[in-house]
Amino acid sequence: MKFDNIEFKDYIVRAMEDLQFKALTPVQKEVLSHLKGNKNILAKSKTGSGKTHAFLLPIFQELKEEESTIFATIISPTKELAMQTYKMAQHIASFSSKRIDIKLFCGGTDRLKEIEKLKNNTPQIVIGTPGKIKDLAIDENVLKIYTSKFFIVDEMDMALDGGYEDSLDAISKILNQSKMLFFSATMEDRILHFAKKYLSSPDVIEIKDEITSIKHIWIPLKHKNRMDMLLSLLHTIQPYLAIIFANTKEKVMEIAGNLTAEGYFVGMMHGDLSLRERKRVLQDCKALKYQYLVASDLAARGIDIEGVTHIINYELPYNYEFYLHRSGRTGRMHRDGIVYSFYEEVDDSYLDNLSKKGIKPLYYEIKNQELIPYKGRATRQQRIKPKTDYQKEAAKYVPKPKKVTPGYKKKRQAKIDELAERLKRNSKKRKRR
């Protein structure tokens, strides 16, 4: 059967039709096209672009259902991501007339029982976290992943941030004859450095402008109380499901408590929740027990919550990239989404930098429980003369090291910050003279 003019096995097409897919997404088309040339792939793709099916579709398409060896190994940096991938894979497999054995391996399970089962049973598709897969495949040698024809690393940047480089190294060495597909939301030097060790002349795929249906609305606080502003905003919108982001666990709990006291149905997601508690919150979101989920940045990466129509940045994240990750929780799979962000005057340079990344916001303020266009920031920008970008100037004098070492970016940035401050002080002295 064909789907979007590409030949697939019948059961794969039925699975996609069951998900009401109308056409392949750009990343899915690119990956399928590049795999025809039997190439390894390094792909940069944002959340919500359909990248999980970008690697699941070719795996199932090439899978020999009757064989009882491991055909594909899929690495996910978190339990939640691994579980989501497992559920998507199980969904496709459920339409096959032949049994497809898919196993999930991540922390919090009975290790000894898993080892005993693997001595007598070999799955066809393995999905798990780096540490767990290394433990079973290398340390215990009971998970025979060396037969894998496909090796997938999802969210490579998250995996490296999580300290899994050694585990990925060990697994990659075993699977160096497999088709390797590495996916990452960013394409930083550390990603490229790791990929070059194992991907020989890979096809690099970079999907741009995937999420085009997100509207960014920035609202000035103008020294007003954030919670009061949040309550005013909630009176003006009617989300199907909204995620309210804060920067710390303490702030998440404070916001959730205040909203609950106001009569809102609110869930919480932060780093101190156990796996069981996180599962419960995700299930409650799916069942629409909450209209609002208050979350730290844990939920901005690696957790797929369907039906999110609104994102509210109660606080701007410290890292520009996390603004993009937060935004990516809505407007997924070509659906519309809105991101509201509260800001203060001190955030001007932060917002300017986001604008340089291609985000074109609309400025609104809340008056009489209504959102109305706000010209304050645009007018202020027109009044202010362009300032010298001391950071850019300083960066010219601090070259990147020839050899990439752990933490080099932070060290280089510290030197740039120090030099930029000196340039700024010298400029002020010259003006006083």
The verdict on pTM exceeding 0.75 is: no
CB 77 within 8 A of CB 155: yes
267: number of Cβ within 10 Å: 21
Q: Identify the pLDDT of residue 429.
A: 54
Q: Identify the pLDDT of residue 302.
A: 60
Residue 167: alpha-carbon gap to chain centroid: 21
Q: Identify the pLDDT of residue 11.
A: 96
Which DSSP string corresponds to 48-105? Answer: TS-HHHHHHHHHHHH--TT--S--EEEE-SSHHHHHHHHHHHHHHHTT-SS---EEEE
How far, in Å, CA of 314 to CA of 326, rounded?
Answer: 12
Give the 3-state secondary structure of residue 127.
strand
Q: Identify the pLDDT of residue 312.
A: 96
Terminal Cα-to-Cα distance of the chain (whole angstroms): 78
Pairing assessment for the beta strands 370-373 and 362-367 based on DSSP bridges? antiparallel
How far, in Å, CA of 272 to CA of 250, rounded?
Answer: 11
Q: Identify the pLDDT of residue 382.
A: 46
Nearest to 226 by CA among 313, 300, 337: 313
What lies within 8 Å, CB to CB, of 150 at 6+ separation is: 55, 58, 59, 62, 71, 72, 73, 74, 178, 179, 181
Q: Identify the pLDDT of residue 125.
A: 97
Structure tokens at 242: 């909204």
DSSP 287: T
Q: Identify the pLDDT of residue 377.
A: 65
| Per-run averaged pLDDT (10 residues), the chain, 433 residues | 88 93 89 85 78 94 95 91 92 96 88 91 95 94 95 88 88 92 83 84 75 81 93 92 92 95 91 80 85 82 77 89 81 76 86 80 89 73 52 77 71 83 70 53
The CATH architecture one would assign to domain 214-383 is 3-Layer(aba) Sandwich (3.40)
* Domain extent listing, the chain: 2-206, 214-383, 390-432
CB 184 within 8 A of CB 43: yes
Q: Identify the pLDDT of residue 211.
A: 45
CB 363 within 8 A of CB 373: yes
Q: Identify the pLDDT of residue 386.
A: 45
Q: Which fold is adopted by the domain 2-206?
A: Rossmann fold (3.40.50)
